[in-house]
Structure formats: structure tokens, C-alpha cells
Amino acid sequence: MIIQSIKMALKSLRSNKLRTFLTMLGIIIGVFSLVVLVSLVSGASTTITDSINSMGIDKVNVSVFDAKKTNNRMTITDIESLPDTLQNVEIAAPEVNSVVTGSSKTSSRAVSVYGTTPDYQIIQGLKIKYGRFIMEPDLINSTNVVVLESKTAMEFFGREDCVGEIISLGGRRFEVKGVLDSGDKQGNMLALLMRAGYSAYVPYDSFIRFPGVSSINIDSFCVNSVHGRGREAQQEIKELLLSRHYDEESFFIFSQSEITDAMDKVTSTLSLLLGGIAAISLLVGGIGIMNIMLVSVTERTREIGIRKAIGARPGVIRLQFLIEAVTLSIVGCLIGVGLSWVAIQIINIIGDVSFGLSIPVIIVSALFSSGVGIIFGLYPAHKAARMKPIDALRFS
């Protein structure tokens, strides 16, 4: 009986194609907007989250603004001992910086110089394209070696592969030992975007010999926590700083996991917002379905009367019109999903991205569309089932 009702519903819809299409248009637009918008938000969120994760989800950054007792501030020895003194800290590295004048034979620019140790590369997820990063012997011997970001290398030497070249930083000659891979190639673009201008990395022991750098106290450092224990590491560092007579307003501790958590909340909220807006279109489409089904019931009143006169039960009539309404919704949903796939492919080609359709959203769209068909088709179907045969046959 159900199969026969589906056949009759499809035949009825095919008999007036334009009206059927216009009726489905609300569902098509609703599904299209829901699937495309939520898929784009999900794809963008995944891309950003991957970039954040490539910077190290276990990384914790610490910045100190001021201390009540300046004679008890962190030193390089304190930083190096953190993995031994704190249970949830795996490795640590200082991150002191200063802006100096950098110059080569062809260029002279302001350069942000970071003084650090070899573990800094692991913590920040830096990738080397040419040469190497800072090594332990560079620290021990306080050698004047430098690692440049690719943008800095291009500005001062006109090429990325400049290992062995000499660059002047703050009036001191440094030999280039390495060049970092650019962010768009290593998936760490966010890390480089946070570094405005030109950047270079030198051994910490060489950094403190720059003119004007008179203090060996460290106001900024970063650590890698034991995997998955970033929050515990944050708490341990906080307790350590408080024990050294810092107050809570004089330091800031931040972890990559906080960015990921914030992104998840923003994405969820945005998906719900966009989904709600798209759901309104589906509801409008449902009203269109109910309207056209009421018209269909009126047009086929005599047909309903004949079928009832020859023995059709009210349940059969109700089922036929209900299936017709659900068929309108499902076909509209399928067309909307198909158009969504086409739109996503066009966006991928134009934007050079790799977004895909969100399967959970497609499932939700299909279920919601079916629900719209049932809810808004129920009243017309019930109206048709309640008709009396004699009144229906008398209708003209």
C-alpha cells in the first residue's frame, strides 16, 4: 500500500512540474543555505584548528609584566631547571627579544631579534628549510650565529638559501646558520602572522651581549607540557611564580589549548546561528508545502470521493497525501544537497581551499526536511481523510 501511495504521489507531482518545483523551492533554498554555510564554517574551523595544532597544542607561553621584588625574577638557570622541578613540564626555553637595526650589503631594516635555546624550535614547531637551528655548542661558546625567517632572508639577501652569509644585527656581525620554512608551506602560518616585520633567532648567551640589554632576567618564556596536561602545567607555573613573590596581575600565562577551546565554542555558536537562520527558510518552505497541498486536496475532491465510494479507508487517503508532502520535502532536500556540493566545489576551485560537505549537517537536513513534510502535510492529509464521500462527489 505504501509503495502504491508513493507511485501515486510521484505521478501527482509530475502532473504539474512547475508548481511542484516552486513548492519545493523553499526547501531547496533552506537545505542549500544550511549545508553550505555550516560546511564552510566547519571547514574554516578545521583549517584554523590545524594551524593552531601545528604550533603545538601542549605549548604554554608565559609573560611577566612587572614584579614586586625584581631581585627574584626568572633567570636562564631557572628556565632550564623547569622540566626537573615541575612535574607536567617537558621542555622549556626563554623568549627574550629586542628590536635592533639589521643590515647587509643590500638592505638595512629594523629586525626583531629573539634570544633563545635549541628547545625553542621544538616548542614553537619551527621548521628549517635551509641549514639548522641554534645548537647547544652555540650557547656554550656564545657564538654569533643567527637563524632567519624566510621573509627576513629574502629582504636582506634576495634569496632564502643564504646559509653562510653575514648579517649585522645591532652593530655585531652574525653568520646565518639556518632559514625557517615559510608558514604557508609548513601549515604554521598563524605563528608567522604573529611575528610582524622581520625576525631572527640567536643564542640566548649572544643576545644578552647586545648593546642596551643589561639585564639577564627573563620576562618571557615558553614550555611544552607533558602531552595533554597543558592546564596542569599552567597551574604549576602559576604556583611557581607566586612563590617567587609575583602577584597574579604581574604575569600572564597562555596555552594553545585555550585557543582551540575558544575556536570550538565560536564554531559551535556560529553553526547554531547559521543553522537557525537556514531553518527559517525550511519552515517557510514547509508553509509553502502545506499551502499547495491544501490546493491539491481541493482540486482532487471528486477523486477522493470516488476512492472513498469504492471502499478506500480514511487511513489510506491520509497516507497518500502525507507521502506526497514528504516526497516534496525529500526531493527538495536532495536537490538542495546536490546544489550545495556544486557550490562547495566552485568555492574550492576559486579559493584554492579543500572544504567538504558536512555529513552530520546533511543528515540533519534530511531529517528536518522530512519532519517539515510530515508536520505541514498532516493537516491537508487529515482534511482529505475526513471528507464524506457524498459531499466530495457533489463537489464541482
Same domain, 22 and 109: no
Same domain, 274 and 230: no
Residue 64 lies in a domain: no
Residue 275 lies in a domain: yes
Same domain, 275 and 236: no
Count of beta carbons in the 10 Å neighbourhood of residue 279: 17
The parent domain of residue 91 ranges over 69-246
* pLDDT tens, residue by residue, 83-115: 998 988 999 999 888 889 999 988 899 999 999
Same domain, 119 and 211: yes
Q: Which amino acid is at 60?
A: V
Report residue 104 CA to chain centroid gap: 40
Strands 172-180 and 145-148 turn out to be parallel
State how far the alpha carbon of 161 is from the alpha carbons of 54, 184, 191, in Å: 24, 17, 21
Three-state DSSP state, 132:
coil
- Which cell is 139 given? 650557547
CB-hemisphere CA count at 13 Å for 245? 7
Strands 89-94 and 145-148 turn out to be unpaired
Q: Who wins on pLDDT, 212 or 33?
A: 33
Average pLDDT over residues 303-315: 78
* pLDDT tens, residue by residue, 136-150: 999 988 899 999 999
Q: Which amino acid is at 55?
A: M
Same domain, 163 and 304: no
Contact 256, 57 (CB under 8 A): yes
- The domain total for the chain is 2
Contact 170, 111 (CB under 8 A): no
Residue 27 lies in a domain: yes
Same domain, 231 and 276: no
From CA 189, how far away is CA 172, in angstroms rounded? 30
pLDDT score at 270 = 78
Residue 63 lies in a domain: no
Minimal CA–CA distance to 113: which of 129, 130, 101?
Answer: 101
Query: What's the predicted TM-score (pTM) here?
Result: 0.60
